[in-house]
Structure 1
Amino acid sequence: MTRLTGIKPVVIGLMIALFIGALDVTVVSTAMPNIVEDLQGTSLISWVFSIYTLTTCVTTPIFGKLTDLFGRKMVFATGIVLFVLGSALCGVADSMIALIWFRALQGIGAGALNPVCFTIVADLFTGEKRGKMMGLFASVWSVAGLLGPLVGGYFVDQISWRWIFYINIPLGVAALVLVNGFLHERFERKKKKIDYWGAAAFTIAISALMYALLSIGETHPWNSPFILVLVVVAVVFLALFIAIERNAEEPMMPLSMFRMRVMNVSNLSGFLAFSITTGVMIYSPIWIQTVLGHTATSSGLLVMPMSITWPIASTLVGRWMYRIGVKTSVIVGSCLVLAGTGWLTALQLGSSYWHWVGILAVLGFGMGFVTTPSTVMIQSAVGWQMRGVATSTNSLLRSLGQTVGVAIFGTIFNHYIVNGTKIEYVHGMQAIFILFFVIAAANLLTLLFLPGHRQVMAQQQS
């Protein structure tokens, strides 16, 4: 279905697209104090991030389905154009309200970048080569995580915070030219049935759910009428969405995917595992600063071990998983994640900074061994015509895991914080660390239900 006139330009273009999407997550956090100082609107800070997360999650599976209907190039181009346009508008925003709206547009474009890039990689490479490339592309996120604070800090200190958005314009144009110029598709062109009603029901359901999760602990408690109404809306429209998909001629999210054990296990594992990593990224700096008394710079540098070992593991497992087995690879990774969270539960008031370095290195290595094989398995379980929606559904479940995790961990943590003392912080985070361990154990148990390596690979379709 997909062919090249030059493999290197396409790979470079895809990596650039992934990079700017991943970089945007960390670079905006670094520049936020200066943005607030310039635009005011301190009370709206959280929405600069929340609206981006919400629109990305809503559009990811929709774009995934569109890639299967209309081809990868068109959807990739649409995503890049929207992301670049949103970035340019963010750069000229003259108020926090305007910035939030433009971030929503940017998030819509970002909803296409991650799943479509990985889908194109799956189209172009098969077998062991696919695993190697998936590992390489997964490392882009970690590299962006390392460079984000540095890039953001440089632009803020030397030029202007607006350049954290402007930099996406030339990079996005380069990605668009490279991919659309060298990637050529051949697929049957016929009239497509777009599942408008399914997409509408899904959008309402996920928007209500995400808005509820992002508001919990921020503006509303768990049991507030506002949150309960949003949850009811989400449940009702999710049920409506399922009913629509059962009868749709070309469903947005084919329910047949969820009859595949590989899909269900991998999606549940992604939900669980990514909730842990997000929690660790949030609460490790809090421990370093409030309990150990280190500077914000030290706590920021603490994420480096995970950002280094994750891409290393992703690259290694991409090369090894066809030799040691896909199931073995993810089991090894989940055992390392379990070991890392177990180490977390042993942290005490006097635990040193280097304990954290070791813990995050182990967690990063474990996640690298889990995520790359999981992505390959999902893409191997379906054909070309469902690969886009399968990849994007997995991305959605990972994002939902992150959002649900943040809401639950925040509620537990706030329960312990009364006077803001150091011991309260320790007890609150120790309770969260125990929950990390329980989730990691559930993730390992889930992955034990994967079929064996030969059965998984027998499903692979080029």
Structure 2
Amino acid sequence: MNKPMTTTTSSPTATTVRIDYAVMLDQRSKVLILIGVLLGLFLSALDQTIVSTALPRIVADLQGIELIGWVSTSYLLASTAMVPIYGKLSDIYGRKYVLLFGIVVFLLGSLLCGLAADMTQLVVFRGLQGFGAAALTSTAFAIPADLFAPAERARYMGLFGAVFGLSSVVGPFIGGLLTDNLSWHWVFFVNLPLGVIALGFIVAKLPRLHSGLMPAIDYAGAATLLLTVIPFLLALTLDKNDYPWTSPLILSMFAVSAVGLVLFLLIERRAESPILPLHLFRIPTFTLTALIGVTVGATLFAAIFFLSLYLVNVLGVSATAAGTTLIPLTLSLVVGAMVSSQIVQRTGNYKWVIIVGMAIIVGSLWWLTTLTPDTSIWMVRLRMIALGLGLGPSMPILNLAMQNAVPRTDLGAATASRQFFQQIGQVVGSAVFGALLTGVLTTSLSTSLAPIQAQLPPDLAARFDSSALRNGMSAGEGASGEVVDPAVRIEQAIAEQFAVRRDLITRALRDADPAAIATLRSDPQLPAQQKAMLEMVETLPAAAREQALTQVLARLDEAEQTARAEGRALGQQISTALKNAFTDSVTTIYRYAVWLAVIGLILALFIPQLPLQRSYGQDLPPLME
């Protein structure tokens, strides 16, 4: 093992030795560290993909589509606010300890999510998961900057895309399989054995991996960061039907966030070891990649999160099939990440790789706006392949470009900050796009269902109210878990009504049952001829009553066939209206996402092309963050 590079520091709160793991560790040790990091990152990424395919069933079971955005928002809210804080703590106490703490908290959150009894509980426990996951992502993206110079680091950046790709291939399939064959609760419980494996490996293989420094902890910066982020995102995500934009609560939250931002900026300007060094924004590459990260985070969320709703509620596939439809996306993402990393490694040119990736994202999102209720599953998969080829080069190479441009002393803070802005994009995307989905879906359903409901009996029309149907086709699941088509549901309801009428008429005419006779007499819809027959039924001989019963039942059978045919037609209209409403809602989201991606593409054109550093050099300060 090489002799470690060390340097002294003049900070009164720091130790005198700075550990440089890029020089200290041999290649084998670095590979082992990367394996441990990727295991932790895989655990976090798997949870996001495995949950997405179970969402339609979760919403149908817990009945809370108005909180569907919060299932991811609460997770991302906690993880976003904590990423830069965990990044600083890992410098002080060691990446290993922060990573272990994060996994334990993440597993506790997973257990509680699996036990959730309603959507509110699920949202809260997903927040706890996010609190732990922030430690996994902050350490995962900081450690490569500890270990490798930018020119050497390029070859490893594709591994992180591959981890996300692998989790996305395995996650949706397992999530759909568990949802269809066991229950959605198991998409959370499956994290437990995987987490135990990751814990064992990290305890055994991962060194402490700390900087050797003890800078002052920026408690005030952490507090004001939370004060800025949490009220702002809560104001965005609260249901605007209950809390309009101009309501006192929303305005108060925005005001608190604005005050928190001012305080945060003032504190960070004077902090000895700030969580977010403000001088980084003077570096064009850092600023541009941070802004692009916001757009990529939001568009990635829109592209993947809402696709399962389209697949289940429009194309009518199972949760398992919805999960497998995402596999082409993740496979192409892995290919794009690995190929682009090798191109940058050999050519040293990262700018045009990023631009090409962003251009493909724009084209793919536009293609997604053309989805219709008749789009085949294979055409959806082709759209996913194209999107993956764009996302693969964009995400890891953006990180590399940023790390190559900032001073070595700010690598850790810069990496955590860029991840912070990308997750801010995801949180805002989940909030805004979730609210957009609910609004467009409710309006579309109310407009299209009103004339259909008017043709149904009041009790049956209530079953197809827009507020219930916006939870999706799965809201009509049978006891065995299969999705019941609206036409089938209406036919079943009509058959049940006629069966009750048939039983009453049989008991009244054949048995002269006083209770059945009284019930039929009180029915205002009973034909006058049948009412007259009931008046004299007790005086008729048995043979005459049997003959009358046969005639009435024959007419009843004819009426039932007519009613069922009409009901089937109305059910098909409801099904068509529901599919059109979900398609319109999802494609509307994609139309907005296209413009976000266009902004990201324009910003990418201004990224400076800097030579990749081949080594840190003895004259550069060793890595601190």
Give the TM-score range, shorter chain. 0.7 to 0.9
Residue 59 in structure 1 maps to residue 82 in structure 2: yes
SS in 2 for 1:452: coil
State the partner residue of 2:145: 122
> Which residue of 603, 607, 622 corresponds with 1:450?
607
Q: Is the 8 A contact 2:53 2:319 kept in 1?
A: no
> Which residue of 300, 303, 315 corresponds with 2:326?
303
Amino acid at match of 1:438: W
Correspondence 1:1-400 to 2 at 5 A? 1-2=20-21, 3=25, 6-30=29-53, 46=68, 48-90=71-113, 101-155=124-178, 164-184=187-207, 189=212, 191-216=214-239, 220-288=243-311, 298-324=321-347, 325-346=349-370, 351-383=375-407, 385-400=409-424
Q: 1:73 deviation in Å?
A: 2.4
Q: Distance in 1 between matches of 2:148 and 2:84?
A: 22
Q: Distance in 1 between matches of 2:371 and 2:184?
A: 38
Q: Is the 8 A contact 1:337 1:363 kept in 2?
A: yes
> Which residue of 577, 590, 593 corresponds with 1:433?
590
Residue 419 in structure 1 maps to residue 442 in structure 2: no
Q: Which moved more, 1:9-18 or 1:123-132?
A: 123-132
Deviations 1:87-143 (A, max 9, x none): 355556678766655443322110110121121123223345422222112221222
Given the superposition, is the C-alpha separation of residues 222 and 457 from structure 1 closer, same or farther in structure 2, using an over 3 Å criterion? farther
Given the superposition, is the C-alpha separation of residues 217 and 366 from structure 1 closer, same or farther in structure 2, using an over 3 Å criterion? farther
Given the superposition, is the C-alpha separation of residues 9 and 93 from structure 1 closer, same or farther in structure 2, using an over 3 Å criterion? farther
Q: 1:23 deviation in Å?
A: 1.4
Q: 1:289 deviation in Å?
A: 5.1
Amino acid at match of 1:64: G
Q: 1:181 deviation in Å?
A: 3.8
Q: 1:189 deviation in Å?
A: 4.1
Amino acid at match of 2:37: L
Given the superposition, is the C-alpha separation of residues 284 and 269 from structure 1 closer, same or farther in structure 2, using an over 3 Å criterion? same
Q: Is the 8 A contact 2:56 2:308 kept in 1?
A: no
Q: Distance in 2 between matches of 1:14 and 1:131?
A: 17
Q: 1:151 deviation in Å?
A: 2.6
Given the superposition, is the C-alpha separation of residues 204 and 127 from structure 1 closer, same or farther in structure 2, using an over 3 Å criterion? closer
Given the superposition, is the C-alpha separation of residues 216 and 102 from structure 1 closer, same or farther in structure 2, using an over 3 Å criterion? closer
Given the superposition, is the C-alpha separation of residues 407 and 20 from structure 1 closer, same or farther in structure 2, using an over 3 Å criterion? same
Amino acid at match of 2:217: I
Deviations 1:181-227 (A, max 9, x none): 43446766454311111111111211112222332458544444332
Q: Is the 8 A contact 1:115 1:388 kept in 2?
A: no
Q: 1:344 deviation in Å?
A: 3.4
Amino acid at match of 1:373: I
Q: 1:52 deviation in Å?
A: 2.2
Amino acid at match of 2:447: N
Amino acid at match of 1:380: N
Q: 1:441 deviation in Å?
A: 1.8
Q: Distance in 2 between matches of 1:360 and 1:451?
A: 30
SS in 2 for 1:193: coil
SS in 1 for 2:279: helix
Amino acid at match of 2:300: T
SS in 2 for 1:6: helix
Q: Distance in 1 between matches of 2:368 and 2:119?
A: 38
Deviations 1:273-332 (A, max 9, x none): 221222122444444455556565554433222122111111111111133411011011
State the partner residue of 2:573: none
Q: Which moved more, 1:218-227 or 1:399-408?
A: 218-227
Unaligned 5+ runs, structure 2: 1-19, 449-576, 618-622
Deviations 1:254-288 (A, max 9, x none): 11121111111111111112212221224444444
Unaligned 5+ runs, structure 1: none
Given the superposition, is the C-alpha separation of residues 404 and 156 from structure 1 closer, same or farther in structure 2, using an over 3 Å criterion? closer
Q: Distance in 2 between matches of 1:90 and 1:346?
A: 35
Q: Distance in 2 between matches of 1:134 and 1:16?
A: 15
Q: Is the 8 A contact 1:382 1:460 kept in 2?
A: no
Bigger Rg, which one: 2
Q: 1:366 deviation in Å?
A: 0.5
Given the superposition, is the C-alpha separation of residues 34 and 449 from structure 1 closer, same or farther in structure 2, using an over 3 Å criterion? closer
Deviations 1:414-454 (A, max 9, x none): 24624253555555545443323322221111001100142
The CA RMSD over aligned residues, in Å, is 3.4
State the partner residue of 2:536: none
Q: Is the 8 A contact 2:149 2:613 kept in 1?
A: no
Amino acid at match of 2:273: E
Amino acid at match of 2:410: M
Given the superposition, is the C-alpha separation of residues 146 and 132 from structure 1 closer, same or farther in structure 2, using an over 3 Å criterion? same
Q: Distance in 2 between matches of 1:431 and 1:93?
A: 32
Q: Is the 8 A contact 1:83 1:109 kept in 2?
A: yes
Q: 1:353 deviation in Å?
A: 4.1
Q: How many residues align?
A: 460
Q: Distance in 2 between matches of 1:94 and 1:285?
A: 23
SS in 1 for 2:447: coil
Q: Is the 8 A contact 1:337 1:367 kept in 2?
A: yes
Q: Which moved more, 1:167-176 or 1:21-30?
A: 167-176
Q: Which moved more, 1:150-159 or 1:133-142?
A: 150-159
Q: Distance in 2 between matches of 1:345 and 1:37?
A: 26
Q: 1:335 deviation in Å?
A: 1.4
Residue 407 in structure 1 maps to residue 431 in structure 2: yes
SS in 2 for 1:122: helix
